[in-house]
Chain A
Amino acid sequence: MKYSKSKTDSTNRRQFIKRSGGIALLIGASGILPQFISCKNPSHVAAQLKKHQITSWIKMSEDGKIVIYNPAAEMGQGSMTSLPAIFAEEMDANWDNVQVEFSPQISNTYGSDGWGSGRKIMLSAGSRVTKGYYSLLRKAGAQARFILMHNAARIWNVPIDGLSTSDGHVLDENSGMKIAYGDLVKDLVVPEEIPDFELHQLKNPKDFKFIGHDLPRTDIPAKTNGSAQFAIDVILPGMLYGVLERGRVHGAKPTLTNSDEIMKLPGILHLVSFDYAIGIIGERIENVLAAKSRLEIEWSDAIASTFNSEEIYDEYKRVADKERDEKVVVEKGNTKKAIRSAARLFSADYKNDYVYHAQMEPLNAVVQIAEDGASATAWVGSQQGFDSKLGIPEVLDMDPEKVHINLQYLGGGFGRRSMTDFVKECTILAKEVPGQPIKLMWTREDDLTYGAFRPMSLQRLQAGIDSNGRITGFSHTVIGDGDNLLASGIRNDHYEIPNQYAALKIIPHGIRLKHWRGVGHGPNKFAIESMIDQIAHSLGKDPIDFRRTLMSESPKALATLNKAAAMSGWNQPNLQGRAKGVAFIERSGTLSTGVCEISLDENTGKIRVHYFWSASDAGVVIQPDNVKAQMEGGIIMGMSSVFKERISIIDGAVQQSNFDDYELLRMADIPERIETAIIKSDGPPQGVGESGTPLVAGAVANAFLALTGKHLRHLPFTPERVLEALNS
């Protein structure tokens, strides 16, 4: 076998020895090959020998235990299992010996270049983690295996080419010798050169033992007994507590009028002014919460002060009617001409209200700045970011290498935890109390009223069809705030439509906005899939047959459609009062079709989803049951947003505050069954975490159309809106 080689780099080696002293671990030029070099301190060496760093991805101890680093956030998506499984696969590790830890947050070593930015980034967002780390971790696992084989060859004095590995052992078939990985660890020597494996030099997928085979998730036992540690659970000696009171209107500036009174309250130590908030530091959580409720603050006006989400749709409609500057996202063929010359024209507006992340763990962080101000440590549940130090170096004007991030489990992310506002806030508080750790807590009310929402929008769709019932032109314009947050999911690359146009008309409101699971796919796929069914319905065509024609050039999409149709018994007659609806989406490379079966209480306007079926092509699937869990959970979250969730804003102020007035789907409203299928595929892994959620709105609206002949065009489908649609 021929490999290109990574040489250990002497400059790097010198630098590393200088920094660490005593025992030195070399991180080589490729970032993956540390090496033991010198040993001055015997007790230090003894401790280190228990856990040897083999490469920057893996530590091993002499009893064979292996620690594999997970470079991604674990927010429920299963990275704590699926990423190490990829590594262990190529390493040929014994999974029973594998433990998983979060990697250090060092982008150059542990980042993925899968973001296309030309540099390595640690960011768990956009369903990109598996996709971004798949090849990298396969190669890194193969390199760890190579190091172990190299050592067996050295000890046995045989050529490495004759060796193989299996289940945590190196084997020499010629001599019949066999040695456990753990037994190689003590005197491990890292070779001068490590191959940079090419994909074709890695394992044949037919030999996979972990990839494509379910492993119990490594994080789950601790999540059943209370021992899983989230950032909110961190308690340190001498830890103080912090809270902030932020305005209900984004951008409003505070003036505190009773600071003397607040400072006299029990346990209150400091007040800290922010542009948009008043911060309180105190000894105990109950102290700072009590003080927060006593603050008297005058708030300035802000850009958002005049914004009223209840009235803005009228303006959106006027903007949609007018010729106006727009940001073109898709332009294929000549859509205007196609629509002008169409035999028949379809047009509809769709609306969606703001939705809130509502991750179950409210935002929080723990930060400790060293007493001498020279370094800082943070304990954070973060989806990380383009800066893996989460903005702390900028706040402290500190060298990023002096900032240590201890990543914790995330009690939900959904996009909210890829912002670092809460980390920076905690760092600003920590500056007041150098040497002491401080835990910043957001209350649920803080988390909701100072949320960063999925933008509301109005979508104007127009479609022209020719005399054969073929869609010849498709135009989609989104009106709202949020720029590219509005754009994802607006493309129709899997439908054969010769002329397509999509554009954004942006109107800034000063409201905080953010990626929310599936981002623009939720609203955009709702509109697109509804329009497809409206056309099929008008032409008297079956919605699945109609899509089959549209997918004539996209066999993979068609396979998901056919599978979902078969699973749902699409061609069987429905029970009295029931109807099915279908939607297709692509998200982060995964293709999915969803079908739901609903009934309707015509008196109350309540829609019930009885069944939901989905079929997805996600490329190679690392952990099939976990993919199913992501689809199930995504569909439930989709139902929650489709039936229940809306943030309204009056005079800039968020009108909801907690789960009593911002309701999430509860168990009483779950379907009788959710069935998820994965289409076998040997393509590269694609993103799954966000694929379930955007399926729901279109499938439900289309089932409603089939059941009633009426259109649901405004998310969420509250009972009042359903009744309104029914009586229209």
Chain B
Amino acid sequence: MATYQLHINGAKKSIDVAEGTSLLWVLREHLGLTGTKYGCGIAQCGACTIHVNGNPMKACVMPVDGVSSGQKITTIEGLDDLGNHPLQQAWIDVQVPQCGYCQSGQIMQAAALLANNPSPSRDEIVTHMNGNLCRCGTYMRILKAIQKAAGKEVAVNEGD
């Protein structure tokens, strides 16, 4: 066991866990920040995507040891104080989520893109988002919501 000082969502947290414990379990089971999800444990699905110093990272493969020297960790709970990030608003406007389990990770991944590239092309979005799985198949709407949040007019469903 060791004590780690973490900087999460603007607050300092102290946590006693075994060395090498994954940041995902620390966030979820020890700190109760359950918006970050467990999906695969091997960085293949993106359900656990968080930001470390603004970069999208997969918490499931990050030992807590590696993020306890002042790195700024942001989870979905800390993305926006009121939950009003333009992506969160766009996710509601476009009615993206179905089961919703992957969506924290999707939004965190997308937020990191827009922070660096406020006006990404479709290809840039697809490339950036390709590591995040959605089993309900909401990809079309995720794409649309990111384009919407980026201020782009997007074609709506043309069926009737």
Q: Which residues of A contact B (CB under 8 A)?
A: 75-78, 216-217, 219-230, 232-233, 235, 241, 266, 284-287, 290, 358-362, 409-414, 441, 443-445, 567, 613-615, 625-626, 628-630, 632-637, 640, 658-660, 664-668, 670-671, 673-678
Contacts and interface: CB of A to CB of B under 8 A. Distances in A.
Nearest to A359: B135
A77 B98 contact: yes
Contact of B42 (A217, A658, A678): A658
B92 A221 contact: yes
Contacts of B30: 284
Contact of B99 (A76, A635, A673, A675): A76
A673 B155 contact: yes
Nearest to A625: B95
Nearest to B34: A233
A225 B135 contact: no
Interface in B61-113: 75-77, 79, 83, 88, 91-92, 95-104, 107
B59 interface: no
A66 B78 CA distance: 31
A667 B129 contact: yes
A227 B82 CA distance: 12
A675 B103 contact: no
B interface, over-half SS: loop
A286 B34 contact: no
B17 interface: yes
B138 A360 contact: no
A412 B136 contact: yes
A360 B92 CA distance: 20
Contacts of B42: 444, 658-660
Given A225-B76, A226-B34, A670-B140, 9 more contacts: A77-B98, A223-B91, A224-B91, A359-B101, A629-B95, A667-B129, A667-B132, A667-B143, A676-B157
A94 B103 CA distance: 30
A221 B17 contact: no
B92 A220 contact: yes
Contacts of B75: 226
B154 to A, nearest CB: 11
Contacts of A636: 134, 137-140
B147 interface: no
Contact of B137 (A232, A286, A634): A634
B153 interface: no
Contact of A221 (B37, B83, B126, B140): B83
B17 A359 contact: no
B130 A667 contact: yes
Contacts of B137: 632-637, 640, 665
A360 B102 CA distance: 7
A220 B76 CA distance: 15
A224 B92 contact: yes
A668 B130 contact: yes
Contacts of A221: 83, 92
A287 B126 CA distance: 38
B157 A675 contact: yes
B35 interface: yes
A666 B127 CA distance: 10
A567 B35 contact: no
B44 interface: yes
A614 B88 CA distance: 29
A664 B126 contact: no
B159 A223 contact: no
Chain A CB within 10 Å, residue with most, of B125, B143, B160: B160
A224 B99 contact: no
A222 B131 CA distance: 23
A629 B98 contact: yes
B99 A667 contact: no
A632 B134 CA distance: 12
B139 A667 contact: yes
Contacts of A360: 37, 39, 45, 47, 99, 101-102, 133-136
Contact of A217 (B76, B95, B136, B160): B95
B99 A75 contact: yes
B59 to A, nearest CB: 13
A664 B133 contact: yes
Contacts of A413: 99
Contacts of A567: 159
Contacts of A635: 137
Contacts of A444: 39-42
A621 to B, nearest CB: 12
B142 interface: yes
Contact of A227 (B35, B138, B139): B35
Nearest to A564: B159
B102 to A, nearest CB: 5
26 contacts: A219-B100, A223-B91, A230-B101, A233-B28, A233-B34, A285-B29, A286-B21, A359-B101, A360-B134, A360-B136, A361-B99, A361-B101, A410-B99, A441-B38, A614-B159, A629-B98, A636-B134, A636-B137, A637-B135, A637-B136, A659-B39, A666-B133, A670-B126, A670-B143, A673-B158, A677-B160
Given A216-B92, A224-B88, A360-B37, A677 B159 contact: yes
A235 B99 contact: no
In the A-B complex, list the 7 residue pairs whose CB atoms are closest, starting with the nearest.
Answer: A226-B35, A636-B137, A76-B98, A223-B100, A411-B101, A76-B99, A633-B137
Interface string B11-50: 0000001100110010011101111111111101101000
A410 B98 CA distance: 10
Contacts of B98: 76-78, 629-630, 633
Nearest to B79: A225
Nearest to B107: A224
Nearest to B98: A76
Given A76-B136, A410-B99, A286 B127 contact: no
A232 B32 CA distance: 11
A225 B83 contact: yes
Contacts of A614: 159
Nearest to B127: A668
A658 B38 CA distance: 13
Contacts of A286: 17-18, 21-22, 25
B141 interface: yes
A223, A287, A671 pick with most chain B CB within 10 angstroms: A223
